[in-house]
Amino acid sequence: MGAFSIWHWLVFVVFFGIGWLIPAWMIVKKAGYSPAWALFGFIPIANLLLLWVFAFARWPSLQNRV
């Protein structure tokens, strides 16, 4: 039982990335922003900053309600 090979880590990273990207893409899209903003979640400091920005910004999808 040795360490994991590069293939194990590659599979883990791909599944983790897809498992995170799809929900983040849908959440940002439902908030009324461009779904491409979800890609910033892979950048270590930018993901925290964008989390705060999206939490306190006015969401375009909610402004259309009367």
Predicted pLDDT of residue 1: 52
pTM of the model: 0.69
Predicted pLDDT of residue 27: 87
Residue 66 has pLDDT above 70, yes or no: no
Tell me the CA distances in angstroms from 10 to 1, 5, 14, 35, one per residue in order: 19, 9, 6, 25
Q: How far apart are CA 47 and CA 38, in angstroms?
A: 9
Report pLDDT digits (tens) over 2-56: 688 888 889 888 898 899 899 989 988 888 889 998 998 888 898 899 889 888 8
Tell me the CA distances in angstroms from 37 to 20, 22, 43, 48, one per residue in order: 13, 12, 11, 13
Predicted pLDDT of residue 53: 86
